């Protein structure tokens, strides 16, 4: 899995920092938005041929219109990763069940279910489907 180990290592550090902040400031809310997990999931789907909406990993030229995961060499996400990130943020911050959210992503790929799974899968996201 691309970058999974690095992501997990980075995420563990963030979770440790959140634990420390929660101890120091118990009246404040600290949580994590696992946005990076979204890109890992999209990359995994792309590599396994299960991402029909994306034709290339990286945009070949600045002017190219082909749907891609990364729009440039530094790794900024294309349109699909941006929409997935928005859904993850919405799920974590506002506790929206994005699977039922009245928004058309414009993709065949079920970004809403992916976002829900990611937000619900991180105990530091404080997500609940109440």
Please, which pLDDT band fits residue 77 given cuts at 50, 70 and 90? confident
The pLDDT assigned to 127 comes to 45
Paired tokens of 97: 């069940």
60 vs 122, residue with greater confidence: 122
CB contact burial 18-36 (16+ within 10 A = b; e otherwise): eeeeeeeeeeeeeebbbbb
Query: Given a cut of 80, is residue 122 above it in pLDDT?
Result: yes
Query: Given a cut of 60, is residue 78 above it in pLDDT?
Result: yes
Q: Give the residue-averaged pLDDT of 67-88.
A: 88
pTM for this structure? 0.87
Q: Tell me the pLDDT of the chain averaged across its residues.
A: 88
8 A C-beta contact, residue 77 and residue 71: yes
Using a pLDDT cut of 70, give the percent of the chain over it. 92
The pLDDT assigned to 2 comes to 56
């Amino acid at each position: 899995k691309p970058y999974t180990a690095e992501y997990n290592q980075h995420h563990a550090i963030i979770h440790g920092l959140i634990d420390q902040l929660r101890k120091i400031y118990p009246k404040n809310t600290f949580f994590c938005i696992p946005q990076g997990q979204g890109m890992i999931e999209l990359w995994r789907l792309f590599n396994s041929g299960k991402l029909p909406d994306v034709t290339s990993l990286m945009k070949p030229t600045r002017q190219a219109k082909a749907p891609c995961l990364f729009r440039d060499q530094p790794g900024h996400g294309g349109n699909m990763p941006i929409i997935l990130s928005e859904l993850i943020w919405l799920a974590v911050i506002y506790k929206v069940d994005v699977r039922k959210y009245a928004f058309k992503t414009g993709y065949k790929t079920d970004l809403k279910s992916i976002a829900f799974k990611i937000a619900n899968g991180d105990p530091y996201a404080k997500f609940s489907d109440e």
